[in-house]
Amino acid sequence: MNIAIVGSGYVGLVTGVCLAHIGHRVICVDNDPEKVKKLRQGKVPIYEPGLEPLMLKYMKKKQLSFTTSIKEATQKATVIFIAVGTPSKKTGEADLTYVENVAREIALHIDSYKLIVEKSTVPAETGKRIERTIKMNLPKKFRQGGRINLEFDVASNPEFLREGSAVEDFMNPDRVVIGVESKRAENLLREVYKPLKTTIIVTNINSAEMIKHASNSFLATKISFINAISRVCDRVGADVLKVAEGMGFDKRIGRSFLDAGIGYGGSCFPKDVDAFIRLSEKSGYDFHLLKEVRHVNEQQKAAFIKHIEDKLWIVKNKTIGVLGLAFKPNTDDMRNAPAVDIIHMLQEEGAKIKAYDPQAMGNSKKILRGVQFCKDPYAAAKDSNCLLLLTEWPEFRALDFKKIRGLMEQPIIFDGRNLFHKYNLEEVGFEYYGIGRGK
Ligand code: UDX
Ligand code: UDX
C-alpha cells in the first residue's frame, strides 16, 4: 500500500520505517527542512535501537522516502497518518494546532479517496474535528452546492510504542486499536496491519481515542501506586522490590510497571495525564484519582531530594555526580526527564553537578545550564560527595565500583531506580540508598 506519515519524530519515523518493513511503500513528511535533509542522507535524528539499519535498508529499496511536502505525500498515498506533536497548553490541555494545520493542508491537496488516520495522542472527538476541517477546506470543485462530492474517511489508530523499544513494540504489539466510522476505512487499516498477525480491536473513533487515554493513565497510576507504596516501605522497613514481586505474581495485577523510582517522565505520561484530567474536567467529571497520580509523581522527586539533604546534611557547595539523564534507558529523549527537575532543585541549593549519560548528553546540553558534562561515569564520580543514579542504563550495572569509590570524595550512592544491589555496594564500602528499600 502507499502510505504517508506526516510528522517524522519519535513516533512518526518509527511508524514509517516499520510500515516499510512490513511491506508498504512509505513517504514520511516533516515541516522541518533540516530534519528532512538529514533523513534523506540516511541519518537518524534520534537514538532508537534498531531503527537506523531498517531505515537505510528500505531507503535503498526505494520503499521509504522523505519530503517536506504534504502535497506530494497526499497525492502519492491512500492512507495518511498524522503523527505531529501535540504539546501541552498552560492549562494542561493538548494543543492541537499542528494537527489542525496538517488536516487543512491535506484537504487542500486531496484529489481522490483518502483515509486520514490520527496517530498522535489527541482528546476524544478530535477525529470529528479533523473530518470537519477537511470538509471545510476541500478544493471548491469538491464542494459544489454545499455538498461534498469526494469520498474520504477519518480514523484513529493510537500508538503504544515505548521509546527505547519502539521498533520491537511496533513489530510485536499486544494489540492494534483502530477507530473507524466506515467499513472501507476498517478494511484499509486491517490491510495495513495484516502482516503483523496480532489482535485488531475495532471500535468507533471516540472509543479508540479513549483507549489511548485510559491505557496511559492506567500505566501512570500503576507507577504512582508503587511509588506511594515505596514511601510506606521506607517507613516500615519493607522492601518495595519484594513487594512488587509478590504482587506481580498475581496475574490480575502483573509485575510490569511496578518499578518504584523517581517518577515517570517522557513525552507521553506527564502530558497525557494532564490532558486527560483537563478533558474529564471539561466533560463535567472531576478525575480526582488522576490528580493524585500526578501529585504522587511530583512528590517522588521531592522525596528523593529530601533523602539526599538528609544524608549530605549541607548540599551547598557539594559536588554531586549524576549517572543517567534521559527519562528512561535506551533513548536520548530528555522531554520531562525527572533528572532535569532533580538537577535544578540541587542547583538551587548550591550544589555543583557533574553528569554523564550514554546517549542524552547532546539534548541535555540544550536544557541544563551550569552542569559539567563528563566523558564517562568515572569522570562524573571523581571528587563527588555523592553519586545519583537517575536512569537505569544497563551498562551502569557493569561499572567498576571499587574504582569509583577510590575516585569519590565520599562513597555515597542514591539509586533512584533501584538498579544496584545494596549488599554488593556496601561490600565495596559504599553507603547505599535506594527507593523504598527500608531504612
Ligand atoms: C508523538 C505524538 O505525536 C504525540 O501526540 C505523543 O503524545 C507523543 O509522541 P513525537 O513523535 O514524540 O510525538 O514528537 P516529535 O518527536 O516532536 O515529532 C513530531 C514531528 O512532527 C517533528 O519532527 C516536527 O518537526 C513535525 N511537525 C510538527 C510537522 O511535520 N508539522 C507540523 O505542523 C508540526
Ligand atoms: C509510554 C507508553 O508506555 C506507550 O505505550 C505510549 O505509547 C507512550 O508512552 P514511553 O513514555 O516511551 O511510553 O516509556 P515508558 O516505558 O512507558 O516509561 C515512561 C516513564 O515511566 C519513564 O520515565 C519510566 O522511567 C517510568 N517508569 C516506567 C517507571 O518509573 N516505573 C515503571 O515501572 C515503568
Give the closest ligand to the alpha carbon of residue 6. 1
- pLDDT in the model for residue 146: 78
Ligand 1 pocket (Cβ < 6 Å) reads: 6-12, 30-32, 35, 83-86, 98, 101-102, 120-121, 267-268
CA 164 – ligand 2 centroid, Å: 10
Percentage of the chain exceeding pLDDT 90: 94
Residue 186 backbone phi and psi in degrees, to 5: -60, -45
Distance (Å) from CA 162 to ligand 2 centroid:
7
* 8 A C-beta contact, residue 5 and residue 28: yes
Q: 249 in helix, strand or coil? A: coil
Indicate whether residue 296 lines ligand 2 (CB < 6 A): no
Residue 268 Cα: closest atom of ligand 1: 7
Run of H or E including 371: strand 371-373
Q: Is 269 in the pocket of ligand 2 (CB under 6 A)?
A: yes
Q: How far apart are CA 323 and CA 7, in angstroms?
A: 32
Q: Cβ(325) to ligand 2 under 6 A?
A: no
Cell of 268: 507521553
C-beta neighbour count of 409 within 10 angstroms = 14
Counting Cα atoms < 13 Å in the Cβ hemisphere of 83 gives 27
The 10s digit of each residue's pLDDT in 40-57 is 999 999 999 999 999 999
Q: What angle do CA 132, 16, 97 make, to 5 degrees?
A: 35
CA distances from 406 to 227, 272, 379, 399 (A): 33, 44, 12, 13
Pick from 337, 342, 401, 394: nearest CA to 363: 337
Q: How far is the CA of 257 from the centre of ligand 2 (A)?
A: 8
Nearest residue to 156 (alpha-carbon basis) of 138, 180, 133, 137: 180
List the one residue out of 324, 330, 271 whose CA is nearest residue 14: 330
Residue 427: pLDDT band with limits 50, 70, 90: very high
Pocket of ligand 2 contains residue 48 by CB under 6 Å: no
Residue 123 is predicted with a pLDDT of 84
Q: Which atom of ligand 2 is nearest to the CA of 222?
A: 33
Q: Which atom of ligand 1 is nearest to the CA of 6?
A: 30
> Which amino acids are annotated catalytic?
268
Query: What's residue 74's pLDDT?
Result: 97
Quick check: CB of 85 below 6 Å from ligand 2? no
| pLDDT for 92 | 81
> 250-304, pLDDT tens digit by residue?
999 999 999 999 999 999 999 999 999 999 999 999 999 999 999 999 999 999 9
237: left (phi over 0), alpha (psi -120 to 50) or beta: left
Ligand 2 center to 151 CA (angstroms): 38
Query: What's the gap in Å between 220 CA and the centre of ligand 2?
Result: 8
- 37 pLDDT band, cuts 50/70/90, is very high
- 272 Cα nearest atom in ligand 1: 7
Note if the pTM is more than 0.85.
Answer: yes
* % of the chain exceeding 70 in pLDDT: 100
Q: Collapsing DSSP states into helix, strand and coil, what is residue 120?
A: coil
What mean pLDDT, rounded, does the chain reach? 96
Kindly provide the b/e burial profile for residues 258-284, where b requires at least 16 CB atoms within 10 angstroms of the residue's own CB. bbbbbbbbbbbbbbbbbbbbbbbeeee
DSSP E strands, 245-333 = 319-323
pLDDT of the residue at 439: 62
Whether the CB of 231 sits within 6 Å of ligand 2: no
Cα distances (Å, whole numbers) of residue 413 to 308, 319, 349, 418: 9, 13, 19, 11
Whether pLDDT at 187 is above 70:
yes
Closest among 70, 158, 90, 173 to 121, alpha carbons compared = 158
Nearest alpha-carbon partner for 340 in 358, 324, 351: 324
pLDDT of residue 216: 96
